[in-house]
Amino acid sequence: MCGIIGYAGKKDAVAMIVDGLKKLEYRGYDSAGVAVVGGGGFGVVKQKGRLAALEARLKSFPLAGRVGIGHTRWATHGEPSDVNSHPHVGSGNRVAVVHNGIIENYRRLKSYLEQKGVRFASQTDSEVVAQLCEYYYSGDIIDTVIRVANRLEGSYALGVMCLDEPDTLVAVKKDNPLIVGLSEHGNFIASDVPAILRYTNRVCYLGDKELAVIRQDGVRFFSFDREPLQKPPETVAWSPDSAEKTGYPHFMLKEIMEQPRVLRDTIRSARTGANQSVIDNLDVSRYHKIVITACGSAYNAGVVAKYVFEALCRLPVETELASEFRYKDPILDKKTLVLLISQSGETADTIAALREAKAKGAQTLAIVNVVGSTIAKEARYCLFTAAGPEIAVATTKAFSAQLVLLYLLAVRFASRRKTLTEEEERALLASVAALPEKAAELLEATGTIQKYASACVGYKSIFFIGRNIDYAIALEGSLKLKEISYIHSEAYAGGELKHGTISLIEEDTLVVVLASCERLYGKIMSNAQQVISRGAKVLLIGNSRNGANGDEKLTQILLPACHELFSPSLSAVVLQLFAYYVAANKGLDIDKPRNLAKSVTVE
């Protein structure tokens, strides 16, 4: 949470910082700010609200400078306000800081400094870093930052500027992401790659308790003992366009539309390079149990995977919310494979679950989208989804990419465990390979969903039901809808409705019914009839041609035929479009839903 960016180079920093903040806004959007070194002091402009408010303020109070830092905030300590916005400048106006993370001992540090006469301007934990840097400044900003970092407890990614060393930007991190970007005209720091992709694709990933000293003519890396570190740059394969809207009204719609390509690339990745070698080399005979842990939509992908793995591999699979995992003393041993799923690779709870699993001796395998992220680095094995940068807060293409990698992993495991015949394996792989085309077919005909969704803006509550794997994808449909449309929604297993929830069904309640499990079609349709007879309207999403029975209370979106276990990939596309168009018809800020941030790096 919170996005930071910095630049030291030959060009004006401000335009690039603001442009980078636009790409980072998904990490937080309560307030934003920029600081540059110039004219014998810091120029600082900070503004509560969205980035557009900062841009407007910069028109009235323009800044210019060749070394600068910027920040977009998701408030943790102190309300969203101008004064609590970053960058924070020490009371002596010598040091400016941007921070992502939480300084857990900030109260102690603050009162220590207050006793020494330092006056604080904000209620944030972050200001303590700027004040401490000024307090300890020894004439060497590198030594100062190391000394300060050694006093901090909690998590941080920091960009620090000092007026006495105006050409230098210092960056340091612990448990929050930070990358360094290298370009001909200057060098960058950023919370992630999309922020600087327009300017460079050569990046170095900063490790915990490593320090980067950024100047126009180069970047040096140090350990906290001031030992120089060698960090050869890596080339990011993402194109600059992948972090732009390219004509779409929202990143979310662009990312939904990209899914056929993402599915194709991710399927291909499982047959080549690093992904293939992980899939081929995992010794599945060692495991007697799989535990899948993740948060939010990634967790929902894990719930889908539980059905697929259990059906194909006949191996018990548990799913655990990563935020609960470490507090329940999970039963793990070296025969347990813990599978962690994360788009960002930086979700604090998933990182903690990974560390817990490793501490307990379990084998760890992560499915991650962001190369160089903490989870990718720390998991024993890692598979990468080929989704490219995902900018919209609500995940779509990364979720779909996770699903296909999970299917392919399950088929591979099953084949190794000999729970499938060769013929069955071939048929399953062919079904997965057909998914991109089928997703494209759905995306070519969005008119019905768009029209249906436009009539749904007035609902106070929408229910999603399904059975078996349809229930798993109902969870994702419900989450997607509520997070971007602000309509209350819940997902239930179809058979569970009559145990309580059916009392909420009244005239014209909308129930979205997922029905791609052929075996259970009759059962879920009975549940649909039960709600229709109590006045509900039903949106049926499934692949049976017998669904539309002429009932005026029932509308069907017909899915292409598909293997039951992989049908969530097609239902997901419709559910994403449904949520998107409901929110679009409500005129909401779809890419940045209120209170949310994409990369949840705090507990």
CB of 299 to ligand F6R, least distance (A): 7
Q: Is 598 a catalytic residue?
A: yes
Contact status, residue 413 vs residue 237, Cβ threshold 8 Å: no
The CA-based angle 562-568-572, given to 5 degrees, is 115
Look at residue 328 and give its three-state secondary structure: helix
Q: Report, in Å, the least distance between residue 134 CB and ligand F6R.
A: 35
By beta carbon distance, the residue nearest ligand F6R is: 296
Nearest approach, Cβ of residue 512 and ligand F6R (Å): 17
* Residue 12 CB, nearest approach to ligand F6R (Å): 33
Other CB atoms within 10 Å distance of the CB of residue 556? 21
Nearer to ligand F6R, 131 or 347 (CB): 347
Q: Whose Cβ is closer to ligand F6R: residue 130's or residue 597's? A: 597
Backbone angles phi, psi at 538, to 5 degrees: -125, 130
CA 418, 414, 337, 269 torsion-angle sign: positive
Indicate the residue among 217 and 603 with the shorter CB distance to ligand F6R.
Answer: 603
Secondary structure class of 253 (helix, strand, coil): helix
CB 213 within 8 A of CB 553: no
Nearer to ligand F6R, 259 or 344 (CB): 344
449 CB-side CA count, 13 A = 25
Known catalytic membership, residue 2? yes
CB of 398 to ligand F6R, least distance (A): 7
> CB 303 → ligand F6R: shortest distance, Å?
12
Q: How far apart are the first and last CA of the chain?
A: 10
Q: By three-state DSSP, how is residue 304 classified?
A: helix
CA–CA–CA angle 241, 98, 390 (5° rounding): 25
Cα separation, 457 vs 478, in Å, equals 15
Residues 497 and 292: their CA atoms lie apart, in Å, by 26
Residue numbers at the binding site for ligand F6R (CB under 6 A): 295-298, 342-344, 347, 350, 394-395, 479, 483, 599-600
Rounded Cα–Cα distance for residues 392 and 407 (Å): 25
For residues 72 and 601, which CB has a smaller minimum distance to ligand F6R in the complex? 601
Please tell me which residue in 2, 133, 204, 382 is annotated as part of the active site: 2
Nearest to 189 by CA among 5, 22, 13, 370: 5
Closest contact distance (angstroms) between CB of 489 and ligand F6R is 13
H helix or E strand, kind and range, residue 424? helix 422-433
Q: What is the DSSP string of 27-91?
A: G--SEEEEEEEETTEEEEEEEES-HHHHHHHHHHS----SEEEEEEE--SSS-S-TTTSSPEE-T
Helix (H, G, I), strand (E, B) or coil at 449: helix
Cα four-point dihedral sign 403, 562, 512, 444: positive
The active-site residue out of 48, 173, 592, 598 is 598
Nearer residue to ligand F6R within complex by CB, 165 or 192:
192
Closest CB to ligand F6R among residues 26, 156: 26
CB nearer to ligand F6R: give 342 or 478: 342
Nearer to ligand F6R, 343 or 567 (CB): 343
DSSP for 83-152 reads TTSSPEE-TTSSEEEEEEEEETTHHHHHHHHHHTT----SS-STHHHHHHHHHH--S-HHHHHHHHHHH-
In sequence order, what are the beta bridge partners of 294? Answer: 321
Distance separating alpha carbons of residues 581 and 601, to the nearest angstrom? 29
Q: How far is the CB of 69 from ligand F6R (least distance, A)?
A: 25
Q: Which is nearer to ligand F6R, 26 or 135 (CB)?
A: 26
| CB 351, min distance to ligand F6R, A | 9
In the complex, the smallest distance separating the C-beta of residue 20 from ligand F6R, rounded to whole angstroms, is: 20
The count of C-alpha atoms lying within 13 angstroms of the C-alpha of 496, restricted to the half-sphere facing its C-beta, is 12
Task: List, by residue number, the catalytic residues.
Answer: 2, 598
